[in-house]
Amino acid sequence: MTKTNELPIGMFDSGVGGLTVLKALRKRCPSEDVIYLGDTARLPYGTKSSLTVSRYAVQCAAELVGRGIKLLVVACNTASAVALTALREAYPDIPVIGVVEPGARAACHATHNHAIAIIGTESTIAGGAYQRAIHSIDAQARVVGHPCPLFVALAEEGWTDGEVPEAVAARYLDPVFNPAPGTESPTVPDTLVLGCTHFPLLAPAIRNVVKAETTIVDSAATTAETVNDELTRRGIKRADSVFGTINYLTTDDVVRFARTGTRFLGTAIGEGEVDLVDI
Ligand code: DGL
């Protein structure tokens, strides 16, 4: 029987966005094997109801758990925001780590003026998971949430710099970060959480809109740190002497996954490395 520390980590996202989290995990825990599942057939999750996202999330987890994993990373803000409880109930024996709590922790650590803005999908923002996670750490924080659904499509299409993403970023973010002179506006947030795994690709366009001193928080690195801590705490970390492998699974076109995924991961994904699964 395979020892627990030799088992892979399972990760899933609605598509390729979670590869930004995988990239951070590879950096923090290079010896771990990872199975990454992108549920591209059903992307986007961000416009769907909590019930539907929870059902999809449990199906993704079932596919990964069935392959034998030692820990599950929910590399999707939408699924982390609405399905974490359902996943933990479905798989009580497997540690389940989402991206919302690590992102909230990083934001509370970064802010000086206790004003934090969150951007994400409609579902992530409407569910209020970030707001709750931040308030559980910093009860006096003022949290504003803004859905930015077009960012997902721009990142998927590779339109991450230039006129179009900058115009979209300005339209979404100017009211919060650059309120018109004379408008009655509350404290401008000094911290912005990229509450969607697709958004780090748009960070340069977003940076053009927010003030230079605004801290932009991407939960990928903090999530990777949380995974490392959990593996260490449970004594299930793989020996450092090996270099881990990655298996990619997708629920839709393998060629598209490899092409768009390469951009998100920042390292080439070959079509031959991706398997199609029906969940
Ligand atoms: N990856 C998803 C997230 O982090 C965004 C894409 C979607 O809407 O499915 O929320």
* 3-class secondary-structure state, position 113: coil
**pTM metric for this prediction:** 0.94
Cβ pair 38, 62 in contact under 8 A: no
Q: Catalytic pick from 29, 76, 108, 148?
A: 76
Task: Establish whether 76 is a catalytic residue.
Answer: yes
The pLDDT tens digits of the residues spanning 96-117 come to 999 999 999 999 999 999 999 9
210 φ, ψ to 5°? -80, 165
**What spacing in Å lies between the alpha carbon of 181 and ligand 1's midpoint?**
34
In the chain, the domains with their CATH numbers are: 4-98+221-276 (3.40.50.1860), 101-219 (3.40.50.1860)
Q: Catalytic pick from 60, 108, 148, 196?
A: 196
Residue type, 70: K
The pLDDT tens digits of the residues spanning 215-249 come to 999 999 999 999 999 999 999 999 888 899 999 99
**What spacing in Å lies between the alpha carbon of 234 and ligand 1's midpoint?**
29
Residue 98 in contact with ligand 1 by CB distance below 6 A: no
Q: Rounded to an integer, what distance in angstroms lies between the CA atom of residue 99 and that of residue 87? A: 14
Residues in Cβ contact with 150 at an 8 Å cutoff, skipping those fewer than 6 apart: 168, 172
